[in-house]
Amino acid sequence: MLRIVSANLNGIRSADKKGFFDWLAGIDADFVCVQELKAQAGDLSERMRNPDGLAGYFHYAEKKGYSGVGLYTRHQPDAVVEGLGVDWIDAEGRFLQLDFGKLSVVSLYLPSGSSSDERQQVKFDFLDVFMPHLEKLRAEGRDIVICGDWNIAHNEIDLKNWKGNLKNSGFLPEERAWMTDLLGRVGWRDVWRNLYPEAPGYTWWSNRGQAYAKDVGWRIDYQIVTPSLMELAESASVYKDEKFSDHAPLIVDYRRSL
C-alpha cells in the first residue's frame, strides 16, 4: 500500500505552528507533496526539512515568502527533477518530480489568477507551456501521480457557489476546458472524481465570511494520475479534523508497493 498526501500549507512555518508536522508523524504516509512553502532553505527547521523518518526535497521560489513546493518521502529517489526547464516558471518554484523505479511523484503549484488580470495571463501562459509537458509525461508509460494545488475547479460539483464564479479565476471556461482536455484527450485521471463521482470533495475555503464553517468550498487540490495508477487507487479522503491552512490535505491510498 502506498499512501500519498497533497497539502497546500499557505506557509510552511505557519502550518508547522498549527500542528501540521505533529499530524504528519501519525499518518504513515509514503509521500507528502506540499505547496506554497512561502520560505527559503534557510527558513526551514530540521523538522521541516526531514520530519519523522521522511526526507524532504524542495523547489523554492526566488522571491522571498512566495510560492515554492516540497516533497517528503520514505524512499530514496532515483532522480530528482526541479522545475520544468522554463526560466520564468521555475523562478516561482512550482514543479518538483521524484522518480522511483517506474513510479514518478510530482508536487505542483499551479499559478492563481485571482489577484489581477496580469496574473491570470501568467496562469494561461503556464497552462500553454504545461500541457505539452503533461502530454510527454503521459506518453512515457510510467506510473505517475501529480499532486497539488491546480487552482482550477473543473466542474459545477467542484465548488459550492458555481453560478457566482462563472467569470472568476479558477472557474473560467478556458481553465475548465483545459482540464477537460487533460482528462479527456490526453488521458490523465482525476482520482477523487473517479472514486467518488457524486461527492464534492472541497479542499479550499475562502477566509472571508463563514466559508469554512458553512462549507462553501472549492475542490482545487487534486491527485492527477496515469490510468495504470488509477486502477490501483483504493480510497481518498480530505482531512478536516484540524486546520493547518486555508486548504485541507488530500490523502489517497494506492494498492501498490515500490
Q: Which residues pair with 98 in a beta bridge?
A: 80, 105
Active-site annotation holder among 143, 158, 222, 247: 247
Cβ count within 10 A of residue 241: 6
Write down the catalytic residue from 72, 109, 222, 254: 109
Contact 218, 159 (CB under 8 A): yes
Beta-bridged to residue 233, according to DSSP, are 254
Could you confirm whether 158 is annotated as catalytic? no
Q: Is 75 a catalytic residue?
A: no
Q: How far is CA 221 from the centre of its chain?
A: 5
Asked whether residue 247 is marked as a ligand-binding residue, the answer is yes
* Residue tagged active-site, from 143, 149, 158, 221: 149
Q: Is 149 annotated as a binding residue?
A: yes
Is 247 designated active site? yes
- How does 143-155 read in b/e, with b if 16+ C-beta sit within 10 Å? bbbbbbbbbbbbe
Q: What is the largest CA-CA distance in the chain?
A: 46
Q: How far is residue 229's CA from residue 34's CA, in Å, rounded to a whole number?
A: 20
End-to-end CA distance of the chain: 9
194 known member of a binding site: no
Q: Report strand pairing: 79-82 vs 69-73.
A: unpaired
174 assigned binding-site residue: no
Ligand-binding annotation for 36, yes or no, is yes
Instruction: Check whether 16 is labelled as a binding-site residue.
Output: no
Locus of grid cell 494506492? 254
Catalytic residue numbers read 109, 149, 247
Annotated binding site: 8, 36, 149, 151, 246-247
Binding-site positions for Mg(2+): 8, 36, 149, 151, 246-247
